[in-house]
Amino acid sequence: MPTGEWTVEQVHALLEKPFLDLIHDAQTVHRQHWPDGDIELATLLSIKTGGCPENCGYCPQSAQFETGVKAEKLLAVDEVLRAAQVAKDAGASRFCMGAAWRSPKDRDIAQVSTLVAAVKGLGLETCATLGMLEPHQAVELQQAGLDYYNHNLDTSPDYYPAIVDTRTYQDRLDTLAHVRAAGIQVCCGGIIGMGETVAHRAGLLAELANLSPYPESVPINSLVRVPGTPLGDSDPIDPIDFVRVIAVARILMPKARVRLSAGRKELGEAVEALCFVAGANSIFYGDKLLVTGNPDTDADRTLIQKLGLRTTGSVT
């Protein structure tokens, strides 16, 4: 179905299809659009940790919650370059830099632009997630060589106020529009397991699919339940429900990289393998995602080899 024509009701119906039928449909779409079946390896580094003034209920970096995460300054260029080189040597093809800001100042953008240019010089694709951007800031990042900007919608518009109220859903959409207008590719997804209903998941997926165009990268996160955050005591996501979200994302956004992101460590090998069958073709690769754990690179290499998959990087 063309971009911009999915209703929440249609997406909801897909999420509730018989599981084997849904997986078959998703795998059919995946093979049509990704005949090589390669897996993209992306590494995420926190370049400025903690101290964020927002109250996103899932986030251990919020200054409003007691999670043990301390506010730190922006990393120096040489520290970032060392991490990027390690990621490249391990097989990553994309290097993502995350900073715990609500909205960066122009001087912050200037510093991050220097980091982007340096990482780009290593031959890696670059991505950043820095909070809300103004149009001129997006342009500056694009001119520095930024390939992707990550700004997740998190959940559906109607459930969003239950998760965060220090910015609006429209704020998020505005930043995505600024990024797209600047000529940067969009990385945008959400989080599953925050107490949302199937209808809320349908609302998130419809919102993503109806962006014009839909994101080039779609990270699907399974909530990492961090003590001290409002969602720290949430019930764990049903793994089959998580696979369903991956499958529907693949059907709705056939040309996007659908990425297994936060919470992958808790899913386990069997569920992760099902996600690949359902159309996931990108993973966050490395021992840590910002401040939460992630499967180590050896475990990822072992699973990739076990499944007979190949990657976009040098590790097979």
| 188 noted as active-site residue | no
> Which position among 52, 94, 172, 188 bears the catalytic label?
52
CB atoms within 10 A of CB 233: 8
Which one of 94, 96, 201, 225 is the catalytic residue? 96
Output phi, psi for 61, to 5 deg.
Answer: -95, 0
Q: Which two tokens stand for residue 52?
A: 């964020």
96: annotated active-site residue:
yes
Burial readout 180-190 (b: 16 or more C-beta within 10 A, e: otherwise): bebebbbbbbb
* Active-site pick, 127, 172, 264, 275: 127
259 part of the active site: yes
Strands (DSSP E) contained in 69-145 are 94-99, 125-129
Catalytic residue among 59, 188, 201, 225: 59
Tokens (6 digits) for 240: 């089959």
Angle between the N-to-C axes of helices 239-252 and 8-15, in degrees from 0 to 180, rounded to the nearest 10: 130
CA 168 to mean position of chain CA atoms: 19
Give the tokens for residue 148: 């992707």
Q: Select which of 172, 201, 259, 264 is catalytic.
A: 259
Instruction: Quote the DSSP letter at residue 127.
Output: E
Q: Which of 94, 167, 172, 187 is catalytic?
A: 187
Select which of 56, 94, 172, 244 is catalytic: 56
List, by residue number, the catalytic residues: 52, 56, 59, 96, 127, 187, 259
